[in-house]
Chains A and B, each alone.
Chain A
Amino acid sequence: MTFLQDPEFGDRIITLMAALVLVLQIAAVGQRWLVSSIRIFAVQSFLLAAIAGIIAYFNHASHIYVAALLTLILKAALLPWVLERLVRRIEIRREIEPLINAPLSILISGCLTLVGYVVAQSFYHPEETSVRAALGHNTLAVAIALFLIGFFTMLNRRKALTQVLGLLSLENGLFLAAISLTYGMPLVVELGIFFDVLVAVMILGILVFRIREAFDSMDVSKLRKLRE
């Protein structure tokens, strides 16, 4: 079992998982069923928790275990469950046609990934040959790509719930950036962020529900009374 101690092996596993996270994100861009989007988010969060766990294991950083566990409980289980219940209650299952169609959206996501790599490159300091630097590079690129694609999803989609999912995947990108750059934020900050995300989703959920009741739709492009 010597390979379990080998940082090289850990690095490869992490890169593989980060790649999977990215693939899932791009799959979510083309996805129109709300429930599938939520499940993709759940799997993505599960992978993030795993990445955090592996980083914690190889660097003997116990506070990342806590972050990994919280990600697992909150983002991979609790939030998807809450969101799925919401979908069932508001009885809207499909996203209407996004502003930009699926193939083009996926193409744009690809370009955004490239941008992520270019930006991440500028942080890469070749003189640091430690595992940390090597590990940081690939995952940071994925993290920035997640952030940008999440941003794009929020602009592109019109259903209130998919915008919430976009915001959440944006947050996932930030989590990945934090653990790959600095092994996570200090624990108390991490806890605060989790708390905020949880409360934010609850509030947005209530809002989605109220909007659905008031407008008989979840289409945010109908929210256009307040105009200059």
Chain B
Amino acid sequence: MILLWLLIVPLAASPLAFFLRRRHLMEAVNLAAFAVLLCLAAALGVRLLRSGPVSVWDGFFYADALSALVVLLSAFVALVCSIYAVGYFRHDESSGVFKEGEELGGGRAINKLREYYALTPLFVFSMILVALANNLGILWVAIEGTTLASVFLVMFYGRETSLEAAWKYAIIGGVGLSMALFGTILTYYSAHQALGTDTLAGLNWSVLVGNASQFDKPTMRLAFILILLGYGTKAGIAPMHTWKPDAYSEAPVPGAAMLAAGVLNCALYGLVRFYILSSKCLGQEFASHLLILFGLLSMGVAVPFIFASHLLILFGLLSMGVAVPFILVQKNFRRMLAYSSIDHSGIMVLALGFGGPLGVLGMLLHMTFHSITKPLLFFCAGNVQQQLKTDLFREAKGGLIHSMPLTGAAFLMVTLAVTGAPPFSLFLSEFTILRAGFSRGYLVLTILFITFLVAIFSGFLIHIANLVLGPDPGLPSAETCRWKKSSVVGLALVIIVMGFWIPAPLFRLIQHAADIVTSGR
């Protein structure tokens, strides 16, 4: 029953917000719905730890520790984003951002808000559905659903650039997901020969996983490649990452944070489910090598885009032509966040590729910590952008800590956290992945992994430090909105606490999920 409630709550919140029309009511509906959702998700986790997997409707919906973890993270991200969204959109409204949009053919402010508050629950609903669907076909439908519900978030402001970003997002996402659908069809086919069922259960994960070793091997191999390309596009791993910087920088900040911290998990979740099937069918080698390749590639791609300014000196001497892309890149801090996200999806895919109990544990820990940390990075960037009315480094003079002490401090802290500096929790997961890499004998690749991490750490930190620290440029002090403040402070506290102490039930849930990935049960 709890599974159904998890789906009903966001699904009901959407029309409710749509018909209520008043800003306060819409905000309240969103906040209440996601708060309830988080409680339900926690209850699901507790129940799973006590009594094992649950399913309803003849196994149409099914939850094990892995799905519970993704549900929990999605609900958490949705709640913190909805708290921040209240402050963010009130600021947008008062500073007249929507009025500019009106001239460009966007709707009135209240309609814009309605669009956001009605579509976000649908978006969250599809994320929850991804985790709870037992049928791999429904899983695909739900992941496509997350794309469809979020296209409007990307084109929210109705600027030319937003339309461009939305177009890229929809088309690249659509093509990528069609590959994933092809992969799903082929998986069905390869299982079909072994199971011979024409019924609904033929694509149910709980059925497939027990019989994966009898699947047709060549078909499964092709299927996994297609799935990796498809869900990899959605997770934004290189070289299918090109939509990400555009979409993340054009969507309103709370929406972008949900894309970065929520949808990423869903796409990786889909990938993990198929990884389990393929490693049972083909052995680990095949999937691992592909995952490691894509994982390292994503991290590598992110490096030059983040590191920009200092490579610039080097490249500038070599050739202006080579340096041009790097100059352009580092101009926008919202886009830089997207490269950080590409980097992190690379890390997770790489960890899965290293495999073994340690690698999988590292991946799931990283997924958890990343979902908790990433939203704060977006919120800080959003605060800065709303204050300065620009997202370009060039126009920000630095010294933000004087006019925005809270955001500035949080920004520095979360930058350290997100790049994996101790004592923050992402250090722990990255260290686990590192150990997994060495213990599985990937010596050179692990050293490459460390190199990328260090490069990203230094590049990222230099940029944000330049933005936050420095002499006071004499801006008026901001930070009056208590919604924005409370979401930033609250999340910062969670991140600090998680650095030193992980709640035991959460850790057990992650361990159970890791067991499912390594053993299939």
The yes or no answer to A115 lying at the interface (CB within 8 A) is no
In the complex, the chain A residue whose C-beta lies closest to that of B164 is A223
In the complex, the chain B residue whose C-beta lies closest to that of A196 is B144
Q: Are A185 and B148 in touch, CB under 8 angstroms?
A: no
The yes or no answer to A41 lying at the interface (CB within 8 A) is no
* Complex CA–CA separation, A91 to B184 (angstroms): 39
Could you say which of A122, A154, A186, A196 contacts B148, with CB atoms under 8 Å apart?
Answer: A196
The yes or no answer to B493 lying at the interface (CB within 8 A) is no
Q: Are B200 and A123 in touch, CB under 8 angstroms?
A: no
A179-223: CB near B (< 8 Å → 1, else 0) gives 001110111110011011001100110010011011100001001
Binds A, one of B153-161, B262-270, B285-293, B381-389: B153-161
* Complex CA–CA separation, A61 to B170 (angstroms): 34
The yes or no answer to A151 lying at the interface (CB within 8 A) is yes
Could you say which of A123, A196, A226 contacts B141, with CB atoms under 8 Å apart?
Answer: A196
Q: Are B137 and A215 in touch, CB under 8 angstroms?
A: no
The yes or no answer to B59 lying at the interface (CB within 8 A) is no
Q: Using a CB-CB cutoff of 8 Å, which residues 157-172 of chain A contact chain B? A: 160, 163, 167, 170-171
Interface residues of B, dominant DSSP: helix
* Complex CA–CA separation, A123 to B186 (angstroms): 10
The yes or no answer to A43 lying at the interface (CB within 8 A) is no
Q: Are B164 and A167 in touch, CB under 8 angstroms?
A: no
What is the minimal beta-carbon distance from B141 to any residue of chain A, in angstroms?
3
Q: How many A-B residue pairs have CB under 8 A?
A: 128
Q: Using a CB-CB cutoff of 8 Å, which residues 135-168 of chain A contact chain B? A: 147, 151, 154, 160, 163, 167
* Complex CA–CA separation, A167 to B171 (angstroms): 8
The yes or no answer to A86 lying at the interface (CB within 8 A) is no
Binds A, one of B174-182, B448-456, B508-516: B174-182
User: Chain B residues with Cβ under 8 A from A187's Cβ?
Assistant: 200
Q: Using a CB-CB cutoff of 8 Å, which residues 162-218 of chain B contact chain A? A: 163-168, 170-171, 174-175, 178, 181-182, 184-186, 188-189, 192, 198-200, 202-203, 218
In the complex, the chain B residue whose C-beta lies closest to that of A128 is B193
In the complex, the chain B residue whose C-beta lies closest to that of A147 is B182
User: Chain A residues with Cβ under 8 A from B399's Cβ?
Assistant: none
Q: Are A228 and B328 in touch, CB under 8 angstroms?
A: yes
What is the minimal beta-carbon distance from A220 to any residue of chain B, in angstroms?
7
Could you say which of A122, A189, A226 contacts B164, with CB atoms under 8 Å apart?
Answer: A226
Could you say which of B160, B174, B198 contacts A183, with CB atoms under 8 Å apart?
Answer: B198
Residues of A within 8 A of B (CB): 61, 122-123, 147, 151, 154, 160, 163, 167, 170-171, 174, 177-178, 181-183, 185-189, 192-193, 195-196, 199-200, 203-204, 207, 210-211, 213-215, 220, 223-228
Residues of B within 8 A of A (CB): 104-105, 135, 137-138, 140-141, 144-145, 148, 151-152, 155, 158, 160-161, 163-168, 170-171, 174-175, 178, 181-182, 184-186, 188-189, 192, 198-200, 202-203, 218-219, 245-246, 249-250, 305, 325, 328-329
